[in-house]
Structure 1
Amino acid sequence: MKSMRAVQVDQIRKPMVVRDIPVPEIGDDDALVRVTSSGICRTDWHLWNGDWGWINVKLPLPIVLGHEIGGVVERLGSRVKGLTVGTRVCVPFNMACGHCPYCLKGLQNDCDNFMWPMLTPGSGGFAQFVRVPNAQLNCVPLPAKVTDKDASALGCRYMTAYRAVRTRAELRAGETVVVTGIGGVGRSCVEIAVALGGQVIAIDTKLSALEAAKKLGAIEVINSEGLSPKQVGERVKALTGANGVDVGIDAVGGSKATLTTLSALAKGGRLVVVGLTSQEDKGELNFPIDEIVAKELSVIGSLGNPQAEYPDLLRLVESGKLAPSRHIESEVGLEDVQAVFDRMPTFQTNGFILVTQFNQ
Structure 2
Amino acid sequence: MRAAILREYGEPLAVRDVPAPEPGPAEVVIRVEACGVCRSDWHAWMGHGEWADDRVPRGQVLGHEPAGEVVAVGRSVDRFAPGDRVVVPFSLGDGTCPYCRRGAGNVCADGRALGFEPDAPGAFAERVAVPNADYNLVERPPWLDATAAAALGCRYMTAYHALAERAGLGGGDRLAVHGCGGVGLSAVQLGDALGARVVAVDVDDDALSLARDLGADALVNPTELGDATDVPERVRALTDGGADVSVDALGIAETCRNSVRSVRPRGTHVQVGLTTEAERGEVSLPTDWMTRWEVSFLGSRGMPPTSYGDLFALVEATDVDPGALVSDEIGLSAVSGRLAALGEYEVHGVEVITEFEG
TM-score band by shorter chain is over 0.9
Q: Partner letter of residue 244 of structure 1?
A: G
Return the alpha-carbon distance in structure 1 between the equivalents of residues 181 and 56 of structure 2.
Answer: 24
**Secondary structure at the counterpart of residue 22 of structure 1:** coil
| CA contact 2:65–2:89 (8 Å) conserved in 1 | yes
Q: Offset of 1:122 from its aligned partner?
A: 5.9
Structure 2, unaligned stretches of length 5 or more? none
Q: Offset of 1:320 from its aligned partner?
A: 4.6
**Secondary structure at the counterpart of residue 162 of structure 2:** helix
**Secondary structure at the counterpart of residue 156 of structure 1:** helix
TM-score by length of 1: 0.96
Residue equivalent to 1:96: 93
Matches within 5 A, 1:55-94: 55-94=52-91
Select the residue among 183, 186, 195 that pairs with 1:185. 183
Return the alpha-carbon distance in structure 2 between the equivalents of residues 184 and 61 of structure 1.
Answer: 26
Matches within 5 A, 1:78-227: 78-118=75-115, 119-121=117-119, 123-225=121-223
Residue equivalent to 2:38: 41
The answer to whether the aligner puts 1:16 opposite 2:16 as a matched pair is: no
| CA contact 1:143–1:318 (8 Å) conserved in 2 | no
| CA contact 2:113–2:120 (8 Å) conserved in 1 | no
Residue equivalent to 1:306: 304
Return the alpha-carbon distance in structure 1 between the equivalents of residues 318 and 68 of structure 2.
Answer: 21
The answer to whether the aligner puts 1:232 opposite 2:231 as a matched pair is: yes
| CA contact 2:158–2:301 (8 Å) conserved in 1 | yes
Return the alpha-carbon distance in structure 2 between the equivalents of residues 170 and 122 of structure 1.
Answer: 31
Return the alpha-carbon distance in structure 2 between the equivalents of residues 31 and 120 of structure 1.
Answer: 17
Return the alpha-carbon distance in structure 1 between the equivalents of residues 59 and 23 of structure 2.
Answer: 19
Residue equivalent to 2:352: 354
Structure 1, unaligned stretches of length 5 or more? none
Residue equivalent to 1:324: 322
| CA contact 2:203–2:221 (8 Å) conserved in 1 | yes
Q: Partner letter of residue 276 of structure 1?
A: L
Deviation string 1:319-338 (CA, Å, 9 cap, x unpaired) is 45422111001000000000
Return the alpha-carbon distance in structure 1 between the equivalents of residues 112 and 243 of structure 2.
Answer: 36
Q: Partner letter of residue 47 of structure 2?
A: G
Select the residue among 50, 53, 67 that pairs with 1:53. 50
Q: Offset of 1:33 from its aligned partner?
A: 0.4
Q: Offset of 1:226 from its aligned partner?
A: 6.9
Q: Partner letter of residue 108 of structure 1?
A: G
**Secondary structure at the counterpart of residue 70 of structure 2:** strand
Return the alpha-carbon distance in structure 2 between the equivalents of residues 10 and 355 of structure 1.
Answer: 20
Q: Partner letter of residue 9 of structure 1?
A: L
Deviates more, 1:340-349 or 1:186-195: 340-349
Deviation string 1:268-310 (CA, Å, 9 cap, x unpaired) is 1110110010100000111111100111111011111111111
Return the alpha-carbon distance in structure 1 between the equivalents of residues 105 and 223 of structure 2.
Answer: 38
Return the alpha-carbon distance in structure 1 between the equivalents of residues 136 and 122 of structure 2.
Answer: 14
TM-score by length of 2: 0.96
Q: Offset of 1:28 from its aligned partner?
A: 0.8
| CA contact 1:274–1:302 (8 Å) conserved in 2 | yes
| CA contact 1:64–1:121 (8 Å) conserved in 2 | no
| CA contact 1:92–1:154 (8 Å) conserved in 2 | no
Residue equivalent to 1:27: 24
**Secondary structure at the counterpart of residue 332 of structure 1:** strand
**Secondary structure at the counterpart of residue 51 of structure 1:** coil
**Secondary structure at the counterpart of residue 26 of structure 1:** coil
Task: Give the alignment's Cα RMSD to 1 decimal.
Answer: 1.3
The answer to whether the aligner puts 1:294 opposite 2:283 as a matched pair is: no
Q: Offset of 1:345 from its aligned partner?
A: 1.5
Q: Partner letter of residue 146 of structure 1?
A: L
Select the residue among 334, 339, 350 that pairs with 2:332. 334
Return the alpha-carbon distance in structure 2 between the equivalents of residues 141 and 173 of structure 1.
Answer: 29
Q: Offset of 1:238 from its aligned partner?
A: 2.6
Identity of aligned residues (%): 39
Residue equivalent to 1:265: 263
**Secondary structure at the counterpart of residue 336 of structure 1:** helix
Q: Partner letter of residue 230 of structure 1?
A: T
